[in-house]
A and B are shown apart, each in its own frame.
Chain A
Amino acid sequence: DTEVTQTPKHLVMGMTNKKSLKCEQHMGHRAMYWYKQKAKKPPELMFVYSYEKLSINESVPSRFSPECPNSSLLNLHLHALQPEDSALYLCASSQDVLRGNNQPQHFGDGTRLSIL
């Protein structure tokens, strides 16, 4: 079982809906990540939070809005998505982006998002 928990596991939404993806970890990690993965492709980095502050935004469209309420939680707010945004959205965490930069990232099982 993964130690990074993502909800919901599946989400179907229309292009005008607003929804949120949630991620939780209790490993004491201080870095958290959002990735997007299309079928048969590697994960693509979207955002990195380090100590609850956004440190990386990989030029992601503003219809994706991340939020880190505390060190254990990471949300991804979705609004006005396009069909091409359909993908598996993965959350990951690691000990520390700065000092522990050799530490592995641990992934959740993702949210399978379908945009109608």
Chain B
Amino acid sequence: EDQVTQSPEALRLQEGESSSLNCSYTVSGLRGLFWYRQDPGKGPEFLFTLYSAGEEKEKERLKATLTKKESFLHITAPKPEDSATYLCAVRQLRPRGSTLGRLYFGRGTQLTVWP
């Protein structure tokens, strides 16, 4: 069972058309939710860490928010250079026997912004 689900799988936006990406999670004892951007043939680039419900982080045209069950990545007036795959990952409180430092990744949202 997936612990992190991202939607939509793919999103096409016209330049300037604002939208949101969703990341829902089922892990208990959240110890951080992380957003990454990944360009083709590159490694994931760290964007944000969110720790607790109600927290918000902003960077240029991106704003990430967190509730107890999901996170949103809001993209305001996107540009073609924002085209990438956006990955969400969570780390949970370590129950007995689980692995340290393990991130649970969603499958990502592939964003395309056309001029």
Contacts and interface: CB of A to CB of B under 8 A. Distances in A.
Interface of A: 2, 4, 6, 31, 33, 40-43, 45, 48, 50, 55-56, 58, 88, 90, 92, 94, 97-98, 101-110, 112
Nearest to B39: A109
B107 interface: yes
A41 B101 CA distance: 20
Given A97-B101, A106-B46, 6 more contacts: A4-B43, A42-B108, A45-B99, A105-B103, A109-B41, A110-B42
Nearest to B48: A104
Interface residues of B, number: 26
Interface of B: 31-32, 34, 36, 41-46, 49, 51, 87, 89, 91, 94, 99-103, 105-108, 110
Given A42-B87, A104-B49, A31 B43 contact: no
B43 A101 contact: no
